[in-house]
Amino acid sequence: MNAMHITSSVFINDDEGGLHADFEYWLESLAPHEPLSRYTHNLTGEDNGDSHLKRQIMGREAVIAITKGGLDFGPWEQVFYGEFDGCRRKRVLVKIIGE
Amino acid sequence: MNAMHITSSVFINDDEGGLHADFEYWLESLAPHEPLSRYTHNLTGEDNGDSHLKRQIMGREAVIAITKGGLDFGPWEQVFYGEFDGCRRKRVLVKIIGE
Amino acid sequence: MNAMHITSSVFINDDEGGLHADFEYWLESLAPHEPLSRYTHNLTGEDNGDSHLKRQIMGREAVIAITKGGLDFGPWEQVFYGEFDGCRRKRVLVKIIGE
């Protein structure tokens, strides 16, 4: 299961709103959005240099085992889509392999 | 192969004790455990806000190719389980697909 | 698809030179190469302690879905090999599963 876009993520973590706020704050501290001049990428006219970096921390994809039609998840595992840019419509790809 | 818990990791790197100490020190610098008030997540009564962040850096899973029953590893690749919380018993899931 | 070495990465992001410069600068800020004494791992006589950390940020592998012989990529997804050490010849493993 993967984000099809390079400024977003699919990741597995806890379904807890405080944690999600912590992620946002933490990612902003590791790769601040501003000043825009911080990123060479923004010379292309885009302003999402930070989004590409944030997505590397959070990851592109998750590979999830399935047994008898159910996800082999631990007690608190949940899949999330992380959006770090927000400028256009995006898609997530779910590919199922096996019998 | 994946951690079934959201404050731990399965990752592949070098089997060298100094490096593992470097990982601990580095992760603590990127996502300090204290002060506990640093993380909104800890308002739930937990104290492992940092563990969820550390696990994102180190990753949840590794997908390892197998040929004729052997892992297709490079010369120094080793699988590790990283524990960033330590409060309960945990499990790792190993799922093998293919013929 | 994965790097077979523990100081390099396979990752998916944008094919834009400015972004790649941003990655280098950013990784160097998160895990500086110097001073070498910063990393216990370098006591082994190596000088690539930082490379092992950089590779954790960028990841070891990418799992790419294939449909009818084509990669199921979004509009800007490209696969890259990231080298953070540079001391020896390296290989990338591509394993294809399915019918």
Question: Residues B33-44: what's their mean pLDDT?
Answer: 98
Residue ranges of B 12-51 with Cβ closer than 8 A to chain A: 30-31, 39-44, 49
Contacts of C91 (CB under 8 A, 6+ apart): B74, C4, C5
Asked if the Cβ–Cβ distance from B22 to C40 is below 8 Å, we say yes
Asked if the Cβ–Cβ distance from C4 to B65 is below 8 Å, we say no
> Tens of pLDDT along A25-43?
999 999 999 999 999 999 9
According to the model, what pLDDT value does residue A99 have? 66
Band of the pLDDT at B73, cuts 50, 70, 90?
very high
> Which residues does chain A have within 8 Å of residue B59's beta carbon, measured at their own beta carbons?
59
Answer whether C57 touches A (CB < 8 Å). yes
Asked if the Cβ–Cβ distance from B61 to A58 is below 8 Å, we say no
> Tens of pLDDT along C18-77?
999 999 999 999 999 999 999 999 999 999 999 999 999 999 999 999 999 999 999 999
Of B6, B31, B53, which has the smallest distance from its Cβ to A76's Cβ?
B6
The pTM score is 0.96
Band of the pLDDT at A86, cuts 50, 70, 90?
confident
Chains in touch with C (3+ beta-carbon pairs under 8 Å) read: A, B
Asked if the Cβ–Cβ distance from B26 to C53 is below 8 Å, we say yes
Query: In angstroms, how far is CA C59 from the centroid of its own chain?
Result: 6
Select the residue from A2, A11, A14 to test the B interface by mutation, using most B Cβ atoms within 10 A.
A14
Widest pairwise Cα distance in chain B: 51
Angle between helices A49-58 and C17-30 (to 10 degrees): 60
Pair type for strands B2-3 and B92-93 = antiparallel
Query: Which amino acid appears at position A50 of this protein?
Result: D
Separation CA A14–CA A11 (nearest Å): 10
> Tens of pLDDT along A72-84?
999 999 999 999 9
Q: Is the model's pLDDT at C98 over the cut of 90?
A: no
